[in-house]
């Protein structure tokens, strides 16, 4: 078993497929040498001329007994790990039932906010003897499940609870997922229930800092685990709070994540709560939250002036097609965003989205783009194809989390965050007959594949999931 996380080098041999550009599906046969001498599983060398394992050992100048070795199956390939740029870890129990269960009075949260519910509409249960037991169960499951679907990097919203947020960070670090963890900030008395908000802007800032410092103690370099400043969305925070968080992100050079322009009702609420600002985007801009390290989820209903501001600031958009369709939020104009020079990635938005699978987000992005083309007179310029969808899920994600050039491909110097896909086997939902070209097999994988095709997953060269 190739691990490459114990100081040994590893050779990966077989077929390597990636999407380095929106119209470029790169299919190569050869070998990759991964070095973990620095503890981070970096691609040291590649050779796309090699046809046998023996040739790989010779080309890389290593002895077989001195390295770990892993080879793909005949119908298998290595593919860059998926990057989920918007997921609510604490909402995972509601996957598949969307928000329907959250309007009732059943207990959905523990005393530390392990379950947050959608938009802060949950009741609190004080009965558990261990206030973090639910958080432990939920966060363990969501991390393991996302890894099993090939998600090597995730940008997580947690809850307002510092202990529960810190636990999410502990678990992500333990299981080896590359993760950006955000303690959710909410303190607006008109939009947040009394039991689920910070009392003051200063308290919101102090709690955010507490989680940030815990996360940075776990990984001081921020290579595998890093904090991300997380105002839930503008209506959940007072103006002072947004400004304090913006200053915090600037002073400490931190990533930021939040929501923007998800639905029409939200736009009206922002206009009502922040009449002094020109637009939803302007709220974030004027409070210092709109930076080149900012991920804005959704971005469906942005006007041209907002698009220009986002482009100028270098902020990113996380497109969440399944969630947008499930909640009836609208169609995100991804082509327009890209044409305006804005980086776009994919998010599952669990539990607004019904699945933690970024592969499913790829196909949903393709489908939504066709519906958008239809409502625009059948113009196919809106269409997102399979290759472009995979590019958004890997390279696009890397750009949005500030890891461009380090994730999303198989070039020397890149981190080895990789999933091994196997299209064969009795349990595979993809039927391969043998005469398909490899680009056709990739099409079949995107439209029919799931976690049953994920054989192994590595993050930084460390094997973090094995589907056996």
Structural domains of the chain, with CATH: 9-81+408-466 (2.30.40.10), 82-400 (3.20.20.140)
Look at 2-11, 139-148, 272-281 and tell me which has the smallest mean pLDDT: 2-11
pLDDT at 99 over 60: no
CA 437, 440, 445, 446: dihedral to nearest 10 degrees? 150
Q: How far is CA 71 from CA 3, 26, 407, 421, in A?
A: 13, 19, 21, 11
Q: Which residues of 240-275 are buried (b: 16+ CB within 10 A; e: fewer)?
A: ebbbbbbebbeeeebbbbbbbbbbeebbebbeebbe
pLDDT at 98: 63
pLDDT at 108 over 50: no
Whole-number mean pLDDT of the chain?
91
pLDDT at 342 over 70: yes
Q: What mean pLDDT is predicted for residues 328-346?
A: 97
pLDDT at 95 over 90: no
Encoding tokens for residue 118?
């959608």
Encoding tokens for residue 201?
């802007």
Confidence at 102, pLDDT banded by 50, 70, 90: very low
For 76, other C-beta atoms within 10 Å of its C-beta total 19
Q: What mean pLDDT is predicted for residues 337-361?
A: 96
pLDDT at 37: 60
pLDDT at 39: 58
pLDDT at 107 over 70: no
Neighbouring residues of 24: CB distance < 8 A, sequence distance ≥ 6: 387, 391
Whether residue 387 contacts residue 19, with contact meaning beta carbons closer than 8 Å, is answered with yes
Give the sign of the dihedral formed by CA 322, CA 297, CA 346, CA 166.
negative
Distance, CA of 317 to CA of 341 (rounded, Å): 11
For 312, other C-beta atoms within 10 Å of its C-beta total 11
Distance, CA of 110 to CA of 130 (rounded, Å): 9
Q: How far apart are the first and last CA of the chain?
A: 11
Strand 184-185 versus strand 225-231 pairing type: parallel
Q: What mean pLDDT is predicted for residues 183-189?
A: 96
Each residue's pLDDT tens digit, 110-138: 434 444 444 333 333 444 568 899 999 99
Place of tokens 């590649």: 46
pLDDT at 96: 80
Give the sign of the dihedral formed by CA 318, CA 322, CA 324, CA 330.
positive
Measuring CA to CA, which residue among 23, 42, 3 is closest to residue 403? 42
CA 310, 347, 184, 239: dihedral to nearest 10 degrees? 20
What DSSP string runs through 344-393? EEE---BTTBS-S-HHHHHHHHHHHHHHHHHHTTT-GGG---HHHHHHII
pLDDT at 109 over 90: no
Look at 115-129, 163-177, 429-443 and tell me which has the smallest mean pLDDT: 115-129
What DSSP string runs through 221-269? T-SSEEEEEEE--GGGS-HHHHHHHHHHHHHHT-EEEEEES-SHHHHHH
Distance, CA of 96 to CA of 94 (rounded, Å): 6
Q: Which residues of 116-127 are buried (b: 16+ CB within 10 A; e: fewer)?
A: bbbbbebbebee
Strand partners, 109: 124
Each residue's pLDDT tens digit, 4-24: 455 789 999 999 999 999 999
Encoding tokens for residue 46?
């590649």
Encoding tokens for residue 111?
């005393």
Measuring CA to CA, which residue among 244, 242, 232 is closest to residue 276? 242
pLDDT at 425: 79
Each residue's pLDDT tens digit, 232-256: 999 999 999 999 999 999 999 999 9
Q: What percent of the chain stands above pLDDT 90?
A: 87
pLDDT at 36: 80
Whether residue 19 contacts residue 27, with contact meaning beta carbons closer than 8 Å, is answered with no
Each residue's pLDDT tens digit, 21-69: 999 999 999 999 999 865 589 999 999 999 999 999 999 999 999 999 9
Place of tokens 């809106």: 382
Look at 6-20, 97-111, 300-314, 417-431 and tell me which has the smallest mean pLDDT: 97-111
Encoding tokens for residue 367?
């489908």
Encoding tokens for residue 337?
């965003």
């Amino acid at each position: 078993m190739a691990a490459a996380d114990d100081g040994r080098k590893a050779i990966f041999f077989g077929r390597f497929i990636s999407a380095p550009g929106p119209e470029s599906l790169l299919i190569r046969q050869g070998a990759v040498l991964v070095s973990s001498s620095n503890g981070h599983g970096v691609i040291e060398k590649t050779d796309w001329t090699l046809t046998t394992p023996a040739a790989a050992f010779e080309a890389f100048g290593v002895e077989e007994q001195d390295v770990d070795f892993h080879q793909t199956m005949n119908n298998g390939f290595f593919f860059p790990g998926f990057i989920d740029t918007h997921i609510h870890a604490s909402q995972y129990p509601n996957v598949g039932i969307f928000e329907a269960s959250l309007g009732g009075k059943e207990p959905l949260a523990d005393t530390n906010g392990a379950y947050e519910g959608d938009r802060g509409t949950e009741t609190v249960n004080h009965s558990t003897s261990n206030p973090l037991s639910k958080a432990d169960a939920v966060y363990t499951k969501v991390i393991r499940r996302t890894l099993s679907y090939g998600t090597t990097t995730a940008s997580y919203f947690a809850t307002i609870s510092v202990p529960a947020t810190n636990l999410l960070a502990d678990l992500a670090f333990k299981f080896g997922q590359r993760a950006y963890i955000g303690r959710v900030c909410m303190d607006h008395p008109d939009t947040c229930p009394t039991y689920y908000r910070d009392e003051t802007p200063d308290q919101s800032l102090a709690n955010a800092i507490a989680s940030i410092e815990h996360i940075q103690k776990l990984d001081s370099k921020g290579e595998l685990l890093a904090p991300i400043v997380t105002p839930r969305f503008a209506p959940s925070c007072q103006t002072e709070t947004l400004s304090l968080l913006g200053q915090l992100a600037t002073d400490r050079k931190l990533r930021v994540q939040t929501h923007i322009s998800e639905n029409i009702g939200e736009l009206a609420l922002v206009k009502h709560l922040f009449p002094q600002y020109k637009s939803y985007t302007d709220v974030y801009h004027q409070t210092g939250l709109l930076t080149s390290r900012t991920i804005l989820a959704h971005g469906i209903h942005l006007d041209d002036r907002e698009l220009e501001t986002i482009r100028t600031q270098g902020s990113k958009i996380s497109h969440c097609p399944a969630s947008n369709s499930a909640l009836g939020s609208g169609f995100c104009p991804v082509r327009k965003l890209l044409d305006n020079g804005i980086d776009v990635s994919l998010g599952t938005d669990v539990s607004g989205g019904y699945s933690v699978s970024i592969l499913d987000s790829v196909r949903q992005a393709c489908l939504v783009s066709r519906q958008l083309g239809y409502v625009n007179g059948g113009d196919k310029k809106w269409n997102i194809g399979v290759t472009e969808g995979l590019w958004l899920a890997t390279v696009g994600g890397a750009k949005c989390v500030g890891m461009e050039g380090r994730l999303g491909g198989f070039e020397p110097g890149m981190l080895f965050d990789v999933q091994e896909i196997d299209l064969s086997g009795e349990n595979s939902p993809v039927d391969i007959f043998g005469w398909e070209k490899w680009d056709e097999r990739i099409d079949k994988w995107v439209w029919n594949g799931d976690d049953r095709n994920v054989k192994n997953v590595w993050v930084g060269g460390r094997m973090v999931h094995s589907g056996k």
